[in-house]
A and B are shown apart, each in its own frame.
Chain A
Amino acid sequence: MKAFNIVIAGVGGQGVLMASKVLAESALASRMDVKQNEVHGMAQRGGSVISFVRIGAKVHSPVVLPGTADILISFEPLEALRYLHYLKPGGKLVYNKACINPSTVAAGLATYPGDVPQRIAAACPGARAIDALQVAQQAGNAKAVNMVMVGSVMKGLPIDAEVVEGVVREISRGKGEEVNMAALRGGAATA
């Protein structure tokens, strides 16, 4: 089995790392080999964040190369466009509609492009945009966007949805378990 490559992109502080952890733990629970990797440190301070999860019979490198991702999950539209080249031809993209200004835009040094959804659609016709913030708020916490995003791609993973649900329950036991489960299912309902 060739490795199944997932790329998760977003902005530091959005919970990209927790989403990656859920997917990696789910692969382990499904008795597959898995490597998960992201960059810490400077990237956490509101910077662009990218995380890789690779699942397969045997996974060597923890790094997903451009043009080889089966799924790209982006927590922010501009970051979806920034990492779009990671998708392989025919790969799937799901992104959260809510925009976050980069510091360069907030400082008036650059402009947030007005045509991000159009450019994404042109490059990746099957891309899905979801209102993850709204789904998360309905689930009970705006910070559950990361679980909404995981839910939104569950059907396309080489892992059973029940396994992912079990992992989310385990990880968030006593720490917003019901909110996270609602967010995960809300995300799944968008697919």
Chain B
Amino acid sequence: MKKIISGNEAIALSFEDSGGVFASGYPGTPSTETLEEVARLGNVYCEWAPNEKVGLESAIGASLAGGRALATMKHVGVNVAADALMTLTYTGVNAGLILMAADDPGMHSSQNEQDSRNYAKFAKIPMLDPADSQEAYDYVRAGFEISERFDTPVMLRTTTRISHAKGIVEQKGKVEPKVGDLAKDVPKYVMLPNFGKIKHIAVEERLLKLQAFAEESPLNRVEMNDPELGIITSGISYQHAKEAFPQASFLKLGLVHPLPEQKIRDFASKVGRLMVVEEMDAIFEEQIRALGIRVDIGKDRISLCGEVCADIVREAAGAPATSAKTQPANDLPLRPPTFCPGCAHRGLYSILSKLKVFVSGDIGCYTLGALPPLSAMHTCICMGASISAAHGIAKVNEIAGRTEKPVAVIGDSTFFHSGITGLLSMSYNAGNALVIIMDNRTTGMTGGQENPGSGRLIQGNPAKEVDMVSLVKVLGIENVYEINSYNLKETEDAIRRGLETPGPYVLVDKNPCILRYRVKKPLVQVSADKCTGCRACLKASCVALGLQGSGDKPKVAIDPNICNGCGVCTQHCKFDAMTVASGGSHESI
């Protein structure tokens, strides 16, 4: 049966159809739905790991124990898992192992634009780069076969427009999962230096064998048409190039590392102009040039930054763009993402913004607190960095004789991911920062996934629930208190106490994510008689608020279709013009 599914769904479906036994990963756009779909399909064991390194290491164990394993993560997650990956390449696998890395060219929802193809070169392992949902499905099957045949982990790399774009997929016959024996082979799996030296040679030999495989494999396909223009490409770039030049000749790479040298030489010799189309880094182009082959059109004409599209390919090859010359209206108010109406982060950032403290931020919905009018975040690097960076800032503040105590803001899932070690360091090294953990009982920004604090597994059934306050205490933090960010006065007092008290100080807000837990509260109402149009409430930065009427001082109105009754705006009002009715509910999905 044909289905229309996303690349992520196709990978999950194929994992199940290809004898998959164990899957783990950490949520991260655009990879998240893969593991969620494995759970939804429900026939193969899967779990959320607290971070990508744990996810990959658990997959390594599953492979050792004889089960085909999958680890899913976004591109920056591979950095976290890289410690495991770089030695996994030496040990190889017992049962097949695939690491799915989802890149985000154009940074739709990421902090950088790194190209995971570099990791395949770095780790000297094969990488597959599907060009649509069908290939995403097919390459999981191929990936397990390559992994087992060549005793290597395989990277399956997607990009946002493969992971999230939907296309038609036809399922193949099912491979029944079978679990082999648990491997006990010390020289192969224990990477002491003497064993590692032997395995490094094996890695280099394996790469040569994979190169020979790349030459013959149908994963790398030549489509000879008009030889005037020959395009070497892979993944989503193939689709854009095909859209731009359907009559051109193509060398379409499915196995993007290692490259098929002879196939590339043959193709280049048969075409007039050789063009290389790849998003982000010049991985193919550099290798092709290193072979002494002339590349006529490449990164000199296609940017290293952002996504490729058909018009970029057309213009790079000297053809006119087909998109109209009409420009988008550039004078419209922007519509950036923002905290949901009713979100607890709004109250916290109202206070942080007011107190003008230095805020060391982290990865999650709460990163949006950096945007105006809240503008209360001053650094955000990677998962967990909020606490460690705040610690470094505090130490230098101390050395410089500055009295300002920095504030770190981090979410529950990010804290479990890699915030714990930062806080451990702050405790151990007698640091001096205020850490606020916004424990909204879910992994919010990626759409509400379970985590070790939410009390549920990926399948939704009950799980051990870590107690955040106890966890913080056991790290050696004496001052840890719960706050309720919907109460601005109480929150401000707690933050002031945290700033005035020397040493590490932790505040935990346990209000649930209103989106994930469908929290509904009675609406806030505005009294037109009392509203003076002072705009103080607009500092809450809520999309339910708006100005109504004209003149010098239009009054505030609340959109009843949007308001979620959190009451933060009412606390900004100095004229008692806003009231919230009592009651409310929150139901779990």
Contact = CB atoms under 8 A, between A and B. Distances in A.
Contacts of B109: 39-43
Contacts of B446: 41
B372 interface: yes
Chain B interface residue count: which class?
A: 35 or more
A104 B334 contact: yes
B30 interface: yes
B322 A28 contact: no
Interface stretch (B76-84, B161-169, B431-439, B523-531): B161-169
A174 interface: no
Interface in A47-62: 47-48, 59-62
Contacts of A39: 108-109, 160, 164
Nearest to B538: A108
A187 B164 CA distance: 28
A11 B544 CA distance: 13
Interface residues of A, number: 57
B447 interface: yes
Contacts of B168: 28, 33-34
B167 A62 contact: yes
A70 interface: no
A44 B71 CA distance: 26
B447 A44 contact: yes
A107 B309 contact: no
Contacts of A43: 108-109, 337
Given A85-B327, A107-B541, A142-B561, A60 B535 contact: no
B337 A106 contact: no
Contacts of A108: 373, 535, 538, 547
B559 A101 contact: yes
B399 interface: no
A45 B161 contact: no
B541 A103 contact: yes
Nearest to B309: A63
Interface string A61-93: 111011110000000001101111100110000
A82 B328 contact: yes
B333 interface: yes
A28 B4 CA distance: 7
Interface string B399-423: 0000000000000000000000000
Given A36-B165, A101-B546, A104-B336, A60 B239 contact: yes
Given A38-B164, A45-B340, A62-B167, A85 B373 contact: no
Contact of B4 (A24, A41, A61, A63): A24
Contacts of A40: 29-30, 108-109, 164, 447
A66 B543 contact: no
Given A38-B164, A61-B240, A82 B332 contact: yes
Contact of B373 (A45, A59, A109): A109
B161 A111 contact: no
B242 interface: yes
A101 B562 CA distance: 10
B324 interface: yes
Interface in B131-173: 132, 160-161, 164-168
Interface of A: 11-12, 21, 24-25, 27-28, 33-48, 59-63, 65-68, 78-79, 81-85, 88-89, 100-113, 119, 142
Interface of B: 2-4, 29-30, 108-109, 132, 160-161, 164-168, 236, 239-240, 242-243, 246, 309-311, 321-329, 331-340, 365, 368, 371-373, 445-447, 535, 538-539, 541-547, 559, 561-562
13 contacts: A28-B168, A34-B4, A40-B29, A41-B446, A42-B29, A43-B109, A61-B242, A62-B161, A63-B161, A81-B332, A85-B326, A102-B336, A119-B329
